Structure 1
């Protein structure tokens, strides 16, 4: 299954600015991974798919750092969809969101420079220090369905 990143919600109210030691991008700042994608040094398919769970009609993930990267990529116009794996459970203790997963707060400097120079954060609600990303789709004008098939282009 494929979904638009901005249709997936964060389950946590904050995320670390670096990938953990068990990931393929261990200890790399999330903004540096975003820069790598923007420069073409890696591809969306090089990053493991995120797992999503349908909670009352909304898609949530525990893979919040990867979601942050993919949402920024979509916001910058470089991604329309990502492959996801559907699951059926997120442990209740993982749900720390205070706003239904619409935004998350990045603890620390996310790193990277290219994405910051391209980021059009015109409403001023998020500075480079807070680096929040919104799942609110009100600023998007997509006529296609939220769930995309493998025939749709990235």
Structure 2
């Protein structure tokens, strides 16, 4: 089965900005993986397939970091549908979303550079002179800093 990334929701309310040690992209930043996809250094099929669960006619996944990457890729017009595997349930301890999975906090800077430029999420050098990572983020309706270094993405 194939779904649009925007038709899949996050099951958690936050994600780490780095893939965990058990992934093919171990310790890589999610934004760097997105940059690799945008440059053509990797392909959607190089990323492990997302598993989805139908919860009251809405698709959710526990593969939240990969979904973040694919949703950003879709937002940039570089991905229409991705392969998914259907499963039966999400463990209750992993279902922590407080907004029905529409957006997610990214804990820390997701890294990467190209995707930020293409999506207009990076300031030019003359707009920001600070080296703090929070200063490279725009503050439009698509994202917002909660004041603790976390970013909410739609």
Q: Would the TM-score normalized by the shorter structure come out above 0.5?
A: yes
TM bucket, shorter chain: 0.7 to 0.9
Say if 1:131 and 1:43 are closer, same or farther in 2 by CA, change over 3 A.
Answer: farther
- Answering whether residue 146 of structure 2 is matched by residue 133 of structure 1, we say no
Kept in 2, the 8 Å contact 1:71–1:133? The answer is no
**Equivalent residue in structure 2 for 1:124, among 118, 121, 140:** 140
Aligned-residue RMSD, C-alpha: 1.6
Distance in 2 (alpha carbons) for counterparts of 1:124 and 1:84? 31
Unaligned runs of 5+ in 1: 135-154
Distance in 1 (alpha carbons) for counterparts of 2:10 and 2:74? 15
Kept in 2, the 8 Å contact 1:16–1:106? The answer is yes
Count of residues in Structure 1 that have an aligned counterpart in Structure 2: 134
Query: CA-to-partner distance for each residue in 1:2-47, whole Å, 9 max, x for gaps?
Result: 0000000000000000000000000000000000000000000010
Query: CA-to-partner distance for each residue in 1:81-133, whole Å, 9 max, x for gaps?
Result: 00000001100110110000000000000000000001146980315864433
Higher relative contact order (CA 8 A, sep 6+): 1
| TM-score (normalised: structure 1) | 0.82
